[in-house]
Amino acid sequence: MHYLLCDITYKKSIATKLKTLMKPTKIILHHSGGTDADPMADSSNYTVAMCNRDHRARFNFISSLGWYVGYQYIIEKDGKVTQCRKDDEEGAHTIGHNKGSIGIMLSGNFDATDPTESQKTALTELLKQKMTQWSIPKEEIHPHRKFAQKTCFGKRLQDDWGQQLVVSSPPSKEHIKKEITRLLNLL
C-alpha cells in the first residue's frame, strides 16, 4: 500500500510538472490558406469538420476533447469559434512550437482576401481572453510564418496584425461590465 501511495504521489508530481511545461506562453495565428494546386484558392468555407477530417488523415493525433484538429481553436468565416484542444495541450500546428503555444486558425486564404469582420471580432475577443487567462503579452502573438517558410497567416496581413487587433479595439462588453462593477463597489 505504501508503494502505491508513493507511485500515485510521484505520478501527480510528474503531471503537475508537465502542466507547468505546457503553460501557453505565446499565440500563433494561422489561416486555412490555398491548396498545393492553387495557392490562391478560396478556403473561406473551410469548416471545423473538414479540418478534423484532414488532420485525422495527416496526423491522427486526437485531442483530449475528441478532435483530430491540430489547432486549439478554429474561427470560421461567420465568427463561430470552436475549441478543438485544451489551451495547455500539445497541438499540431507549428513544428517546434506545438508545446507551450495556442494555435488559432481562421478559415480563409489571406493571401487572396481579408478575414471577415465577424472573424476579426471573434479573434479579438479570444485573444484578449487568452492573454488575460495565461498572462501572454501582446508581443507574443505571432503569425505562423515567423516559425515556418510559409505565408501563413496570409500575405495581405502584416506580421503585427494580431497584436494590433488587441491594441486598437474597443474594450469588450465583459471588460466594461467588470469595470462598472468595480467602480460601483468603490461607492
Regarding predicted confidence, which is higher, 37 or 89? Answer: 89
What totals of helices (H) and strands (E) does the chain contain, helices first?
5, 5
- Range of 176's domain? 22-186
The answer to whether position 16 is within a domain reads no
pTM of the complete model beyond 0.85: no
60-64 long-range contacts (CB < 8 A, ≥24 apart) are: 61/92, 63/89, 64/89
Following DSSP, what letter does each residue of 120-177 receive, concatenated? Answer: HHHHHHHHHHHHHHHT--GGGEEEGGGTSSS-TT-TTS-TTHHHHHHHHSPPPHHHHH
- Express each pLDDT in 133-185 by its tens digit: 999 999 999 999 999 999 999 999 999 999 999 996 666 676 677 768 877 88
Residue 17 lies in a domain: no
* Separation between Cα atoms, residue 46 and residue 170, nearest integer Å: 29
> What pLDDT is recorded for position 170?
63
Please tell me whether residue 83 adopts helix, strand or coil conformation: strand
Does residue 117 carry a pLDDT above 80?
yes
Q: What is the CATH number of the domain that holds 71?
A: 3.40.80.10
C-alpha cell at 147: 516559425
Considering the domain boundaries, does residue 147 fall inside one?
yes
pLDDT at 46 over 90: yes
The number of distinct structural domains making up the chain is 1
- Predicted local confidence at residue 84, as pLDDT: 98
Q: What's the whole-number average pLDDT of the chain?
A: 87
Band the pLDDT of 18: cuts 50, 70, 90.
very low
